[in-house]
Amino acid sequence: MADVWAGLTEVSKDEGCELDFSGVAAFVWWAAQAESAESFVGKVKGALTHYKLVLIELGEVRRFEETDDVSEELHEMVDRARQNENWVLFGTFYIYPHHAA
């Protein structure tokens, strides 16, 4: 089994996106099994395309370690990602309503 990687993205909706979040953009964590950071990023970009999301920024990509001090939600995502190498899981969309001027 490959390691589970996690990363934080900033995304916005593309035309046809059916995910239900309001606002112009959101921050969301992703988790997936991957052989490397590059492999993880490729999986996340595939999921973004599938859900019709536009990647604004990708940060904090790292191999998950049991000693990481992360939220309960991210721990649950990592546990689920370990169940299937093809799953790319996302968490809560933390939205912001508008761009700052």
Continuous H helices in 1-101: 37-50, 72-81
Calculate mean pLDDT across residues 86-97. Answer: 90
Query: In this predicted structure, what is the pLDDT of residue 24?
Result: 81
pLDDT, tens digit, 9 for 90 and up, residues 7-61:
999 999 999 999 887 878 999 999 999 999 999 999 999 999 999 999 999 988 9
Tokens of 55: 């990647």
**Spatial contact of 36 and 30, defined as CB atoms under 8 Å apart:** no
Tokens of 48: 């973004």
